[in-house]
Structure 1
């Protein structure tokens, strides 16, 4: 009797573990993970604002009416990437994620230099080269090591009133997600 109970318990635990593993692996095998969906928006290294209403075809949306979001797919395989946006909104935050949706880095306007977004994302080798010959243009930039070559960025800004919507949209439109030419670092 004891061995039947033990076998049943092991079977249930194994089935539960297998069930959880399958649920967690579904986005990877379906190509419906966040990185793939953001990459499908268009060219990499460009911020794409997300609409606040459902679009035909079921693309990505921003479901918070008091926030405006933009996303950018990036790769640091060839060159480091600079994320930049001038100040101009009461609040913004940025999150950097690897291709598996693990958060690598986040910050907001309160921790930024003069309220501007200025982040350089690079591999460990690229960061060493940047630190050796730090160009004046990057002297105020926050340097972030990307453990994976591919990832994405989510830039958010708060819109507490309708009168601030235009400023929030302009902030996202002026945000840059661009490769840094290695020649400028040497």
Structure 2
């Protein structure tokens, strides 16, 4: 009987210690999520290329030498956001994530119209407004519903040879992540 009570007491003390440790560790992990790190790269609504070195802003790096990567933080709370980039690289892919790092949407150049990136990310209400009065400029755009206001996009392009590196960097440099003026939609 005494050993059972001792086991229960040790279990309760261990559980209490674990809970205290978790509570004390939460501030350490707060602000280290992907969304916060991407938002810390600079102004929102701009693709920032991620360097291949460990000494980058926000601690984000591109650790694949065969890829070039750009990231853009955005909010659809005030207006929809359009992600775009021209065709012209052997391969690209984009992933749209909410602020909790849940993937909302992804696609690549093989599923895009004419190989170009053209995606509109918006809240359900904003999407309804866009669909009711679809402007000609958004006729070929892929419409993506964002479940929360804040999110980020990660745009990747493949660099099969060193001679393609300049084209990949130009592709990321010409990529856009910008708010859509809602007055042009209504």
TM-score normalised by structure 2 residue count: 0.87
Instruction: Give the match for residue 173 of structure 1.
Output: 173
Deviations 1:94-152 (A, max 9, x none): 00000011111000001111100000000000000000000001000000000010000
2:149 paired residue number: 149
The alignment partner of 1:140 has SS state of: coil
Distance in 2 between residues matched to 1:39 and 1:174, nearest whole Å: 20
1:54–1:144 CA distance, 2 compared to 1 (3 A): same
Structure 1: segments with no counterpart, 5+ residues? none
Change (3 A) 1:26 1:68: farther
Cα deviation, 1:18-40, whole Å, max 9, x if unaligned, reads 68xx49x8488521111111101
> Which residue in the other structure is 1:76 paired with?
76
CA distance in 1, matches of 2:143, 2:78: 17
After TM superposition, which residue ranges in structure 1, 4 or more long, deviate above 4 angstroms?
25-29
Q: CA deviation at 1:59?
A: 2.4
Aligned length: 182
Deviation at 1:57, TM superposition (A): 6.4
Q: Is the 8 A contact 2:40 2:58 kept in 1?
A: no
Partner of 2:32: 32
Residue 85 in structure 1 maps to residue 80 in structure 2: no
Is the CA contact 1:45–1:179 (under 8 Å) kept in the aligned structure 2?
yes
Task: Judge conservation of contact 2:38–2:58 (CA < 8 Å) in 1.
Answer: no
1:184 aligns with 2:184: yes
Are 2:48 and 2:72, in contact at CA under 8 Å, matched by a contact in 1? yes
Q: TM-score, with normalisation over the residues of structure 1?
A: 0.87
Contact preservation (8 Å) 1:27, 1:33? no
> 1:85 and 1:30, CA in 2 relative to 1: closer, same or farther beyond 3 A?
same
Distance in 2 of aligned mates of 1:157 and 1:85: 11
Larger Rg computed on CA atoms? 2
Q: Do the aligned residues in 2 keep the contact of 1:79 with 1:122 (CA within 8 Å)?
A: yes
**Equivalents in 1 of 2:153, 2:33: separation in Å?**
14
**Inter-partner Cα distance in structure 1 for 2:124 and 2:28:** 26
2:52 alignment counterpart = 52
Q: What is the CA-CA distance between 1:160 and the residue it aligns to?
A: 1.2
Gaps of 5+ in 2: none
Change in CA separation of 1:122 and 1:52 when aligned onto 2, cut-off 3 Å: same
